[in-house]
Amino acid sequence: MGRQPCCDKLGVKRGPWTAEEDRKLMGFILGNGGRCCWRAVPKLAGLLRCGKSCRLRWTNYLRPDLKRGLLTDDEERLVVDLHAKLGNRWSKIAAKLPGRTDNEIKNHWNTHIKKKLIKMGIDPVTHEPLDGDRKQPQQASPATTSAHSSTITAESKSVDGQQEDKHIDIDKDNTSTGGESSPPESSSMNTNDSGGGISSNHDQDPLVKWLLEEEEDPPTGDIDESWLDLTNVDNVEGFNFITATTPWDVIGVTDWLLDYQDYGVGNPTFLADVSMVESSSGSNL
DNA sequence: AAGGGACGCAACCGCGTACCC
DNA sequence: AGGGTACGCGGTTGCGTCCCT
């Protein structure tokens, strides 16, 4: 098949992004509205990066609507629940956690949640009790993490698989959905969800239905809706990005915004982030 | 104080899919 | 219909930071 590389490797910069590069990329996307494909972005933005790298940088770091910091307990719970239903489909999971990226969730899963579950005697892949815990009573049932109300509230201080201070709440009909669920597929997941790795049991699950509906708002009231208020520009103090006189000069509240909402610039919380980018490049400095 | 290992995050790689010609 | 291109996704890696000895 000989698929061509996404970009010419020669002369393409790799590695951590600098503040200057961030500025250029953000400036281009915000200023031009990204009226072209990612492949053309680096050239037009004056970056020696491949388009793929630009897209990743934007979606994982520069996007205005991104939350930062550790996942909250609620978010973590939701991730566990969603993972039990969907497996490693991080993008699907991320889609249900506003402001979080698939990469972020994936990293958090691998570095935090996975370990927690293992300490609790739960297989992070299948969400079933680990071998040593199979004889555990109800608390360690397969539904422990997939139940809608499951909670992981305490850091297990156990060592060697011993469970201590484990706090899993089961207070709903967890047996109907989680009990007989097939293990989520953990790899080579088909991006098409139609039937994919979800059991028919899960298809009946309201949560799964919600998960698979792209346009529907999440049921949690967890969303920071402040950004929806377009009149709220109180947070633009210090805003001096490029030559804008108002935030909206940069945002360009024009039709492209509507056309390119995927960039996330419709989210006014970016204003604060823009000034942040202005002052630093985040983790790279 | 210094060295080494563990940890966490950002970025890269390669594959699958959708779309276009 | 088939090939080429671009994008999105999940797995993996690299490297900086933290922590322990």
Q: Are A165 and A150 in contact (CB under 8 A)?
A: no
Other CB atoms within a 10 A radius of the CB of residue A272 amount to 15
One DSSP character per residue, A135-168 reads T--GGGSTHHHHSTT----S----STT---S---
Protein residues bordering strand B (Cβ below 7 A): A 3, 6, 14-17, 49, 52-53, 56-57, 60-61, 70, 103-104, 106-108, 111-112, 115, 188, 190-192, 282-284
**pLDDT, chain A, mean:** 58
- Cβ burial of A147 (10 Å; 0-12, 13-18, 19+) is buried
- What's the CA gap between A21 and A128, in Å, rounded? 45
State which residue has its Cα closest to the C1' atom of C11: A187
Three-class DSSP category at A247: helix
Judged against a pLDDT cut of 70, whether residue A49 lies above it is answered with yes
Tokens 């992070």 — which residue? A124
State which residue has its Cα closest to the C1' atom of B10: A16
Reported as a pLDDT band with limits 50, 70 and 90, residue A118 is confident
Judged against a pLDDT cut of 60, whether residue A85 lies above it is answered with yes
- What's the CA gap between A22 and A136, in Å, rounded? 51
Measured to protein CB atoms, the chain B nucleotides within 7 Å are 7-18
What is the predicted pLDDT for the residue at A20?
Answer: 87
Closest to A253 measured CA to CA, from A169, A72, A244: A244
Residue pLDDT, tens place only, A62-71: 888 888 777 8
- What's the CA gap between A35 and A14, in Å, rounded? 24
- What's the CA gap between A129 and A161, in Å, rounded? 11
Closest nt by CA–C1' to A36: C6
Residue pLDDT, tens place only, A222-252: 433 333 333 333 333 333 333 333 333 333 3
Candidate ranges A114-128, A187-201, A248-262; pick with highest mean pLDDT: A114-128
Protein residues bordering strand C (Cβ below 7 A): A 3-4, 6, 15, 37-39, 51-52, 55-56, 88-92, 102-103, 106-107, 110, 186-189, 191, 262
At residue A83, what are phi and psi to the nearest 5 degrees? -65, -35
**A7 or A44, greater pLDDT:** A44
